[in-house]
Amino acid sequence: MNVPKSETLPPPPGVIGSLKAGFDTVAVHITAIFLPLVLDLLLWLGPHLSVEKLFQPMLSDIRSFGHANGVSASDLDQMIGIYKTVFHQFNLLSLLRTFPIGVSSLMSGLNPLATPLGTPTIVQVHSVFDVLGWIAILTLLGWLGGGFYFRWIASLVTPREEAIGVQVVLQSLFLSIMWMIASFVLGIPLFLVLYLLFAINPILGQGVLLFLGFLSMWLVVPLFFSAHGIFIRRQNVFASVISSLQMTRFTLPTSSLFVLSVILISIGLNFVWSIPPSDSWMALIGILGHAFITTALLAASFIYYRDMTGWLQTVFEKLRTRAATPQA
Query: Is the Cβ–Cβ distance between 286 and 272 less than 8 Å?
Result: yes
Q: What is the pLDDT of residues 21-56, one digit of tens each?
A: 999 999 999 999 999 999 999 999 999 998 888 888
Low-confidence residues of the chain: pLDDT under 50: 1-7, 161, 328
For 308, the 3-state DSSP assignment is helix
CA 17 and chain centroid, separation: 22
The three-point CA angle 132-187-219 to 5° equals 120
Indicate the pTM of the whole model: 0.87
At residue 5, the pLDDT reads: 46
Which pLDDT score, from 0 to 100, does residue 327 have? 56
Check residue 9 and give its pLDDT.
67
**Average pLDDT of the chain, as a whole number:** 87
Structure confidence by residue, pLDDT tens digits, 261-293: 999 999 999 999 999 999 999 999 999 999 999
| Residue 308: other Cβ atoms inside 10 A | 22
Q: What is the pLDDT of residue 322?
A: 73
The helix-helix angle for 237-273 and 202-224 (nearest 10°) equals: 110
Give, rounded to a whole angstrom, the gap between the first and last alpha carbons of the chain.
Answer: 7
Going from the C-alpha of 189 to that of each of 137, 193, 220, the distances in angstroms are 27, 6, 20
Q: Report the candidate in 157, 191, 197, 203 with the shortest Cα–Cα distance to residue 29.
A: 157
